[in-house]
A and B are shown apart, each in its own frame.
Chain A
Amino acid sequence: MIPKVLIVDDSKEMLFALSEGLEKYEDKFSVVLSKNGLDAVEQLKANTFSLVVTDLKMPKMDGFSLLTHVMEKYPGIPVIVITGYSTPQMETMANDGGAIGYIEKPFMIDDLADRISTTLSTQSDGGSLQNVTSSMFLQLVEMEQKTCTIRLTDRLTDEQGVLFFNNGELLDARIGDKNGEHAAYVLFSWDEVNLSIQNSCAITENFIKKDVQAVFLEALRLKDEAESIHEDPSSDNTEPEFEPELEPELEPDSEPSVVEPVGKPPASKPKTATLAPASGKKDPAAVIRQKIQTKLGTKSGVQEIYTDPKWNSLMLAMEKVALAIGAGDLKLAMVNNKGPSDFILIPGLEPTVVKINPKSPRDRIIDALRV
């Protein structure tokens, strides 16, 4: 995925020189040129950029106004300011306005290129992946529950978009001038994407009120609907393009139900761990539940916690492997049989089993328990 950099300057000569000088970096980033702030605003609507480099003094709309516009509308896009009329006040204004870099003219093009490359590299500090299907991508997001910015490129159209997550919660999506749920539906409808992950999120406000799973399912529904309309010759709809609805029918609560768990397992289980044992000793299930609740709250997706000797042979095999390869003590294990539940096993006289919904944030539960 080659990131796009928007370069804004009213000097044709400067644009030409930058375009020529940065050509040798085309394997790292591509450059789109813009002659003033207003033109840049239009370019930002039509494309998804990874970085903006702007001059300050320009006709129609100057660099400060453009900087303000980008910070307001596209907070995930960093801005580097270049100027030929530098004063300490201007530099302070640019920095206060949110610019991540301030370069005085004249400058060496290679220095600018270094600055661009360094800035862009932070946008993939969490890694990048090629040829990822949308369901795999969702799996990544759900499992990791992280705070990050994910930049996507649709492999079919080369369109680019951005998703902003805070602790796994989808705060916003952007593609061109669209944002919020509308943009998320478009991004989640892409079949195969390249993506890069930045381990930070510039957005704090939540523009998407739905659970990521609900947004994803709605995107698939809208896509199916659009495709079926397109395929149905009897349909009056003449628009072949996928246009998601602004008011989707799916409610956020339509995600798979999560059983409010722990302490109320069905009677069929081998040995039920209770919440308040008569002995007064702290029950392991209660401790486990407390750990999970502290980190994830009550909607963790834990279905039951119980002890079950039928896992003994597997736990024994794990202990043996640990001994053979010098892996240290067995902390816990997760088993996914592709059934209606996954199992987290905690070693003990009899293994304690935490039965979880496969859609639950498994890695976060594991993190809570391995401490």
Chain B
Amino acid sequence: MKEQFSEIFKIKDVYGVVLFSGEGKILYEEFKEKKPDNLSVVTDLYALPRTSPNAYEMDVIFSQMRLYIRKVNIGHMIIIMGTNAQMAMVRLTCDMINPTIQSTKQSKGLGRLFKRK
């Protein structure tokens, strides 16, 4: 998963990613540097997709932080940024990451043992 999210961390002012399942369980979290103390309880972030479950994407701008919430097939992805992050790049990178996140779900049957041609 770290490799899949590496592109997002190349964008200036992005400093964290949290991936939630549809039930609000944290599937993955990563921060560029040490996780800030105020983000110690990242589960708080899930309040946003829970309140607006049908939103495909939300961009929430605070005075000191910006959150990009993106619906993905396995739940919701939340990108934590500074206020000057390039949003178009963040969106585009999320578009590119989304299919790879889905593909990490372990498939049943022979598909998980053999590569497709």
Contact = CB atoms under 8 A, between A and B. Distances in A.
Interface string B48-77: 101110111111111111010000000000
A336 B55 contact: yes
Interface in A282-315: 313-314
Interface string A324-367: 11111111111111100000000000000000000000010010
Contact of A325 (B39, B87, B88, B95): B39
Interface stretch (A50-58, A70-78, A109-117, A128-136): A128-136
Nearest to B47: A317
A259 interface: no
A352 to B, nearest CB: 15
B41 A129 contact: no
A136 B62 CA distance: 27
Interface string B30-43: 00000010110100
Given A139-B91, A313-B51, A328 B63 contact: yes
27 contacts: A127-B11, A127-B89, A129-B93, A139-B88, A139-B91, A140-B88, A144-B88, A144-B89, A314-B51, A314-B52, A318-B48, A322-B62, A324-B44, A326-B65, A327-B62, A328-B64, A330-B61, A331-B61, A331-B63, A332-B61, A333-B61, A334-B58, A336-B56, A336-B57, A337-B55, A337-B56, A366-B59
Interface of A: 127, 129, 131-132, 136-137, 139-140, 143-144, 313-314, 317-318, 320-322, 324-338, 363, 366, 370
Interface of B: 7, 10-11, 36, 38-39, 41, 44-45, 47-48, 50-52, 54-65, 67, 86-89, 91-93, 95-96
